[in-house]
Amino acid sequence: MNTQVVHFHPRPETFKQNSQAALADKPLRKSLRTAMDMLMTKRKMVLSDEQELQMLRTLCEHVRQHALSKLPDLLVQLEENLTKRGVRVHWAETVEEAQQIIYGIMETHNGKLMVKGKSMVSEEIELNHYLESKGIRAVESDLGEFIVQMAGEKPTHIVMPAIHKTKEQVSELFHNNLGTELTDDVDKLTGFARAALRDIYRTADIGLSGVNFAVAETGTLCLVENEGNGRLSTTVPPVHIAITGIEKVVANLTDVVPLYSQLPRTAIGQPITTYFNMITGPRRSEELDGPQEMHLVLLDNGRSQAYGEEQMRRTLQCIRCGACMNHCPVYTRIGGAAYGTTYPGPIGEIISPHLMGLEKTRDLPTACSMCGACVEVCPVKIPITEQMARLREEAQRSPNENVNYPIKGQGASHSFGESIAWRIFNGSFGHTKAYRALGWFSTTFRALTPPWQLGWTENHVPLKPAEKTLQQMLAERKQNKQ
Amino acid sequence: MSARNNILAKLRKANAYPMDLPRTEEYYQEMSPSWDNEIERLKHWAKCMRAVKTEIFWVRENNWEETLIQVAQQKNLKNMLVSKNTEHGKRATTALQAASLEVRNFEQKIDDWKDEFFAEVDAGFTSSLCGIAHTGTIMLTSSVAEPRSQSLVPPVHFCLFDTRKMYDTFYAAMQGEKLAADMPTNVILISGPSKTADIQLTLAFGAHGPRDLVVLAVLPEHINPADLEVAA
């Protein structure tokens, strides 16, 4: 079975080129359009009670903001409660630290095979690639992740990783890698994957999972899933490693109820998931199953930068439902791969700059028409467009400017010409005389407007000043009335 | 400084302003669904469960074994994993043996019989802690008698559910069962058999866990099973 990790994938630095390629890919656009239309319709159906929806969104926003307001204390409380229950807690500031911690655990157990439940954070740290370089095989068990891993690709959506693939493409992949018959019967294809993966659960040395919510009050890790692969990965292997970003903690067990109520409905328009798994420690001495040993890796990787300031902190409210992607006119047309980041779409545009720095991701916050669809559907009310505007500002800001809350890669898009242009704009629009002079100049010399205006005229007619300024028209109107 | 101390120091430096507790209880007092009577609530629960392919059989406390055997025979099961240390497990054992179905027990740690467990066990039989009407859910907890994989590894999962232990919402169940006070190592909410829609958004059941979920819903004497099937 070929489940090697991806060795080549688009990078965020080439986002513009990636987008152009994606726009030219007609089958991809068709798959995305069909899938996103269906997801939007289904979401609307299961959240049709507007009063319930808005009250629940407000409550969920409050739950997440409350948790973030006490984040350091809650992390310490979580660690204490997990430790009491026999879980070893590890802290990683960087991707490299997280990789090494996980490899260290594998090495201690002489582990050669890891079975992975769905974990976006493990994608973030490129764990499969890293483990492969150490001679360890890591197999994705979520069906969508299994497919994209087999195809040597990255997930294109955080909830439905293989949404861009047709059943025929999946069948061919399975045929080539698992030796199964070619079929367009989805039940059969699912059965092929089931058979292949049940052997992996049984023989894996380590099971790895993500975390949807970590409860500080009880030391409980919650996993939301439909397939049962998360349950198998966290139950059958002798060692379970969970990995999560530091922001996923909530204060109390009751906090998970409204969040879980929203997550499947907002994500895929499903009233409830098949399984909601709440794990509180490894197997106890008298128990007959569950992991004998359990670890939690808490990853920072730039999240503490986002946490540093109130406006940016709201990025960390995210519960990874993917609704913002499903409703984004940009994501819907280019898909997740074009972003070249672990988290694509609107949430990816605002979280990736913290994880990877603006040097690599400066173009991402510009991939937004500010339509606000993502803000309207966000179950925890993240002001995504505000964040986007702020990140654009930070990318344009001079790299040498001293600010209270510096963002990694500040000034990545800074240009002297644009800076001057904005100063002129600011000066002209901020002073009456200058504004009037600009108006006179623009209307008088409008005939000299260049027919080519940078990128604008690639898709639009040239901008040309009006024949008269607003003041002139108002003055004329006033005169005509008299 | 360690990574832990560095991360905590950065977070504390932000000096975030503490917020009040979220008003979750108020929300659920106001927004919890309600039903005219117990029958309507059960019908709603069953409708949600059946919508995701759960097989529900209304049974009585004194005769649920009959249904267990009938369904097991219909599914051509050869054996079933049953707890020998619970009252319902003992009753199931007696009934299965009388019907010449093999009874298997979780007698050793999973590590010692994994291959056999995955390859040979046809079905697992467990009890449940409670049900949740709103979402069509049953809640199970792990225990020495009924380990978590008993409801997970075998392709068919039979679950005995006392319908008197039904809560309106997950919130009510969490409060009613006082979960936060003493969490077992594993609490699982189940709404149907394992499923996926990862291939071209087409729903397929039996992705990794049980392909079939059979719930034996034990009714109190005052509820007539026929009333639950009308327009259910």
Instruction: List, for residues A220-238, the tens digit of each pLDDT value.
Output: 999 999 999 999 999 999 9
For residue B198, give the nearest of A70, A143, A305 by CB distance. Answer: A143
Query: What local confidence, expressed as pLDDT, does residue A5 receive?
Result: 43
Query: What local confidence, expressed as pLDDT, does residue A7 receive?
Result: 43
Greatest alpha-carbon span in chain B: 69
Over residues B67-79, the mean pLDDT reads: 98
Mutate to test the interface with A, among B208, B211, B215 (most CBs of A within 10 A): B208
For residue B202, give the nearest of A186, A229, A279 by CB distance. Answer: A186
> What is the layout of strands, in order, in the sheet containing B55-60?
B55-60, B212-219, B156-162, B123-127, B79-81, B102-104
Contact A277 B14 (CB under 8 A): no
Instruction: Give B-chain residues touching A85 at CB under 8 angstroms.
Output: 185
Helix pair angle (B64-74, B87-98), 10° resolution: 50
Over residues A386-415, the mean pLDDT reads: 94
**B105 has a pLDDT exceeding 60:** yes
Q: What is the DSSP letter of B147?
A: -
Contact A144 B198 (CB under 8 A): yes
Distance from CA of B2 to the nearest CA of A (A): 9
For A307-325, b where at least 16 C-beta lie within 10 A, e where not — what string? Answer: bbbeebbbbbbbbbbbbbb
Distance from CA of A309 to the nearest CA of B (A): 6
**Inter-CA distances, A162 with A12, A143, A150, B161, Å:** 20, 8, 11, 36
- Mean pLDDT over the full length of chain B: 96
pLDDT in tens, B194-225: 999 999 989 999 999 999 999 999 999 999 99
Q: Which residues contact A221 (CB under 8 A, 6 or more apart)?
A: A209, A211, A213, A214, A215, A242, A244, A278, A279, A280, A296
Residue B87: exposure state from Cβ atoms within 10 A (0-12, 13-18, ≥19): exposed
**Inter-CA distances, A319 with A172, A333, B22, Å:** 34, 23, 17
CA distance A134 to A112: 9
Instruction: Give B-chain residues touching A206 at CB under 8 angstroms.
Output: none
| Chain B residue with Cα closest to A141 | B208
> What is the layout of strands, in order, in the sheet containing A220-225?
A249-250, A213-215, A220-225, A275-279, B186-190, B137-141, B130-132, B166-167
For A33-43, b where at least 16 C-beta lie within 10 A, e where not — what string? Answer: eebbeebbebb
Contact A226 B31 (CB under 8 A): no
pLDDT in tens, A286-343: 999 999 999 999 999 999 999 999 999 999 999 999 999 999 999 999 999 999 999 9
ipTM: 0.97
Mutate to test the interface with B, among A73, A187, A226 (most CBs of B within 10 A): A226
Query: What local confidence, expressed as pLDDT, does residue B7 receive?
Result: 98
Q: What is the DSSP string of A69-125?
A: HTHHHHHHHHHHHHHHTTEEEEEESSHHHHHHHHHHHHHHTT--EEEE---HHHHHT
Q: How many C-alpha atoms does A98 have within 13 Å on its Cβ side? A: 25
Query: What local confidence, expressed as pLDDT, does residue A1 receive?
Result: 56
Residue A406: exposure state from Cβ atoms within 10 A (0-12, 13-18, ≥19): middle
**A86 has a pLDDT exceeding 70:** yes
Contact A76 B106 (CB under 8 A): no
Instruction: Give B-chain residues touching A271 at CB under 8 angstroms.
Output: 48, 135-136
- H or E, element range at A388: helix A384-396
Query: What local confidence, expressed as pLDDT, does residue A456 receive?
Result: 87
Query: What local confidence, expressed as pLDDT, does residue B229 receive?
Result: 86
3 state DSSP class of B215: strand
Q: Which two tokens stand for residue B61?
A: 């406390």
CA angle A270/A271/A273 to nearest 5° reads 70
User: Residues of chain A with pLDDT > 90: what percent?
Assistant: 89
Query: What local confidence, expressed as pLDDT, does residue A6 receive?
Result: 43
Query: What local confidence, expressed as pLDDT, does residue A4 receive?
Result: 45
**A155 has a pLDDT exceeding 90:** no
Q: Which two tokens stand for residue B159?
A: 């679950």
Over residues B122-127, the mean pLDDT reads: 98
Mutate to test the interface with A, among B138, B199, B203, B215 (most CBs of A within 10 A): B199
Contact B19 A66 (CB under 8 A): yes
Instruction: Give B-chain residues touching A201 at CB under 8 angstroms.
Output: 118, 208
Query: What local confidence, expressed as pLDDT, does residue A454 receive?
Result: 84
CB pairs under 8 A between A and B: 263
Distance from CA of A336 to the nearest CA of B (A): 15
Instruction: Give A-chain residues touching B142 at CB under 8 angstroms.
Output: 287, 289-290
Greatest alpha-carbon span in chain A: 96
Over residues A227-253, the mean pLDDT reads: 98
The pTM (predicted TM-score) of the whole model is 0.93
Q: Rg of chain A over CA atoms, in angstroms?
A: 25
CA distance A193 to A214: 30
pLDDT category at B231 given cuts 50, 70, 90 is low
Q: Rg of chain B over CA atoms, in angstroms?
A: 21
For A332-354, b where at least 16 C-beta lie within 10 A, e where not — what string? Answer: bbbbbbbbbbbbbbbbbbbbbbb
Q: Which two tokens stand for residue A422?
A: 């904005």
Over residues B140-156, the mean pLDDT reads: 97
Over residues A239-262, the mean pLDDT reads: 98
Closest CA to A348 of A477, A182, A155, A126: A155
For residue B204, give the nearest of A52, A186, A280 by CB distance. Answer: A186
| Chain A residue with Cα closest to B193 | A274
- H or E, element range at A361: helix A358-361
**A37 has a pLDDT exceeding 50:** yes
| Chain B residue with Cα closest to A275 | B190
Instruction: Give A-chain residues touching B11 at CB under 8 angstroms.
Output: 71-72, 75, 246, 304, 307
For residue A202, give the nearest of B118, B195, B207 by CB distance. Answer: B118
3 state DSSP class of B214: strand
**A358 has a pLDDT exceeding 80:** yes
For residue A190, give the nearest of B118, B193, B207 by CB distance. Answer: B207
Q: CB–CB of A169/A189 below 8 Å?
A: no
**B193 has a pLDDT exceeding 80:** yes
For residue A254, give the nearest of B48, B171, B199 by CB distance. Answer: B171
- Mean pLDDT over the full length of chain A: 94
For residue A231, give the nearest of B110, B114, B152 by CB distance. Answer: B152
